[in-house]
Chains A and B, each alone.
Chain A
Amino acid sequence: MGILLIITFLLLFIAGVPVVYAILLPAIGYVLIEGFPLGLLAQRVTYALDSFPLVAVPIFIFVGNLMNLAGVTDRIFRFADTLVGRAPGGLAQVNIFSSLIFSGMSGAALADVGGLGKIEIEAMRKRGFEAPFSAAVTAASAVVGPIFPPSIPLIVYGSVTSVSIVQLLVAGIVPALICVALLMVTAAVLSLRHKMPRAPRWPTVREVWSALVPALPALLAPVLMIAGMMLGLFTPTEAAAVTAFYVILISSLVYRELTWAHLRDSMLATLKSTSAILIIVAAAALFGWILAVEQVPQDFAKMILTLSTNPIVLLLIANLIFFVAGMFLDSTTATLLVVPVIAPPMVLAGVDPVHLGIVAIFNLMVGLLTPPMGLSLFLVSEIAQISLRQLLKALAPFYVPLIITLGIITFTPDLVLWLPGFLR
């Protein structure tokens, strides 16, 4: 019955039924057939959201929306342009570097593509970069966002697995920096080979300073948040709220670009995004309960542990499953439906759940860049006005640093768990 439920969900999902109904339709059918009381539907769906860590999700979405509307994004981009615009690859390096800084505030890959991505692609085209290359750099660098704190997918992962969200967020820092470094090297090699444009000279100290001053308040936001969490001053949810007020403060008092209309628009956009994501969390709670009743996770655990009990082999299997899941499902749905089934045998075999979280989310984010359901691909090709074929061709070299990062994350748990180790 559990397998039938999963197959029905996948068929509805592929047919283009909204995810929330694709999950709820088979789940309700199960409840009615098995004769469970209808009150179960109400309670499972409503109380799935009775979770303090999940409160961070709308607040971080709000921060991302606010930054896009209130001019913070522009200043981050200008600062990055001054600092690394002369490096081989010029604006491509700026694009990657800005994504890292921006992701330190928004926490969602597609928010990065949709917000900063528009500015980046337009600026790169104006400076003579080809549209497919500009789009490829934007899509590849957006993968970094969801593993660098704050991260909405990691918060959802933490709430599903009851793993410390602070540890998960902190664990993403080193892998994100490695990924950025590898992406920058790739962009440099490609740009040297194809003689791509870059700034005519390195900036003077005065130029760096004059770009840094307006960007500094924005750059301090992720520092404030990460330091606050690591020092135990506040929880991730409280860190989100503090960051939101900080961004409101700097965009209204320092940058003087925040208007009531901006605030209202960003709040309305936040409401829709939040509801669209978290309604799936609510629906998936019912689905997850049914899978547990049907003992699907237990059966899967038995099956997978007969294959091997070696953590490395199991991590390779997990990589494959998450990668395939990421190719077909969006990250929230995949986290909610796949993680509760995969995580138990992995943890039983000795895989650290924080390490597994980073492996899972990075895989799902790479999935955003792989057909047939690569949402980042669709969004970027739409923004850059290029075909999917052109984008995939330009993106091909960037899969190399992403796969290398995935390998490093998978095979060096000590590296991933180094920073969280300070919190244990």
Chain B
Amino acid sequence: MKIARRLVETVCLLLLGALVLVPFAQVLLRDLFNAPIIGAEELTRFLLICVVFVSYPLVVASGENIVMGDIRNALPAPFRRFLNLFTSLAAVAVSGLIAYAVFATIGDNLNNATPTLKIPFWLFLGATFFGFFFAAIIHLVHLRKPPQKSTSVSL
């Protein structure tokens, strides 16, 4: 489990590094050398989709989904336990269903690609599948004890 987590973290760090680097390189090359990167914006958008969905299992594993937990925390213990179980089941169902829907959609988009860089659509959809599939697995593993922090979490 630790190795898998490290692997996902490393991939996400590389994706985020590229996400910051590409627009910066574009400014330098365009404004200083008059040689803009063709398709830089398209690549950046692709990287954003990958960053968000590939890192989503890390969010779930550390219980950092945005939530307003204060009313639930004020409830008596039996209600809290029920809501925690309901939350976990709902999270498994939602994540699993979206992963399934994305998997089915990948098959219909094998030949589609972005206009400039020809990045295949299955890569975008693959990132979404990865995020929701592993989110469902983590929610399932934590079914009895939700990883979600009990306090409110936001930015």
Most buried by A among B45, B66, B91: B66
Taking a contact as CB atoms under 8 Å apart, the answer to whether A14 and B155 are in contact is no
Report the nearest A residue to B103, measured CB to CB: A42
Please determine whether B155 and A272 come into contact, CB atoms closer than 8 angstroms.
no
| Cβ-defined partner of B9 (8 Å) among A268, A277, A280 | A268
B141 at the interface (CB under 8 A from A): no
Asked if A16 and B51 sit within 8 Å, CB to CB, the answer is no
Contacts of A52 in B (CB 8 A): 41, 44-45
Q: Given A277-B155, A278-B52, verify A16-B58 contact (CB < 8 Å).
A: no
Residues of A within 8 A of B97 (CB): 28, 38, 41
A282 and chain B: residue at smallest CB distance: B52
Q: With the chains together, A267 CA to B66 CA distance in Å?
A: 19
Question: Are B66's CB and A280's CB within 8 A?
Answer: yes
Check A143 for interface membership: any CB of B closer than 8 A: no
Chain A residues with Cβ below 8 Å from B69 are 16
One of A133-141, A173-181, A185-193, A240-248 contacting the partner = A240-248
A271 touching B12, Cβ below 8 Å? yes
CA distance A24 to B58 in the complex (A): 19
**Main SS class of interface, B:** helix
| 0 or 1 for each of A199-241: is its CB under 8 Å from B? (1 = yes) | 0000000000000000000000000000000000110011011
CA–CA, A340 to B98, complex, Å? 24
Question: Is the pair B16, A272 in contact by a Cβ cutoff of 8 Å?
Answer: no
In residues 295-339 of chain A, which contact B (Cβ within 8 Å)?
330-333
Q: Does A87 contact B (CB under 8 A)?
A: no
One digit per residue, 1 when the CB lies within 8 angstroms of any chain A CB and 0 when it does not, for chain B 6-27 equals 0001001100110111111011
Q: Nearest B residue to A46 by beta-carbon distance?
A: B128
Interfacial chain B residues near A30, Cβ < 8 Å: none
Q: How far is the CB of A278 from chain B (nearest CB, A)?
A: 4
Pair B94/A25 contact, Cβ less than 8 Å: yes
Nearest CB of B to A261, in Å = 13
8 A Cβ contacts from A349-383 to B: 372-373, 375, 378
Check A58 against B19 for contact (C-beta < 8 Å): yes
Collect the chain B residues with CB atoms within 8 Å of residue A373's CB: 68, 70, 152
A contact patch SS: helix
* B62 neighbours in A (Cβ, 8 Å): 272
Flag if B98 contacts A16 (CB, 8 Å): no
> Which A residues are in CB contact (< 8 Å) with B83?
15-17
Q: Which residues of A are found within 8 Å of B55, using beta-carbon distances?
A: 271-272, 274-275
Partner of A42 from the list B16, B72, B91, B98 (CB cut-off 8 Å) is B98
A31 (CB) vs chain B CBs: closest residue: B101
Neighbouring B residues of A237 by C-beta, 8 Å: 23, 44
- Residues from chain A with Cβ under 8 Å of B59 in the complex: 272, 275-276, 279
Q: How far is the CB of A248 from chain B (nearest CB, A)?
A: 9
Docked pose: A43 CA to B125 CA in angstroms: 8
Given A25-B90, A39-B104, A373-B152, residue A18 in contact with residue B65 (CB < 8 A): yes
Residues of A within 8 A of B20 (CB): 59, 62, 241, 244-245
Cα(A264)–Cα(B87), bound, Å: 32
Decide if A18 touches B67 in the complex (CB within 8 Å): yes
Residues of B within 8 A of A264 (CB): 13
Q: What B residues does A38 contact at CB under 8 A?
A: 97, 100-101, 104-105
A sample of 19 cross-chain residue pairs with beta-carbon separation below 8 angstroms, ordered by A number, consists of: A15-B83, A16-B73, A17-B87, A18-B66, A18-B148, A19-B68, A21-B91, A24-B94, A39-B101, A42-B104, A43-B105, A46-B128, A58-B16, A59-B23, A62-B20, A241-B21, A244-B24, A272-B64, A274-B51
| Extra pairs beyond A41-B97, A279-B131 (13, CB < 8 Å) | A28-B94, A39-B105, A47-B124, A62-B16, A241-B21, A268-B13, A271-B16, A272-B58, A273-B155, A275-B51, A275-B56, A275-B58, A332-B155
User: Could you tell me which B residues sit within 8 Å of A by CB distance?
Assistant: 9, 12-13, 16-17, 19-24, 26-27, 31, 41, 44-45, 47-49, 51-53, 55-56, 58-59, 62, 64-73, 83, 86-87, 90-91, 93-94, 97-98, 100-102, 104-105, 108, 124-125, 127-128, 131, 148, 151-155
List A residues at the B interface (Cβ < 8 Å).
12-21, 24-25, 28, 38-39, 41-43, 45-47, 49-52, 54-55, 58-59, 61-62, 108, 110-111, 152, 233-234, 237-238, 240-242, 244-245, 264, 267-268, 270-280, 282, 330-333, 372-373, 375, 378
Q: When A and B form their complex, which 5 residue pairs have the shortest distance between CB atoms, in order from nearest?
A: A16-B72, A18-B65, A241-B23, A42-B105, A38-B101
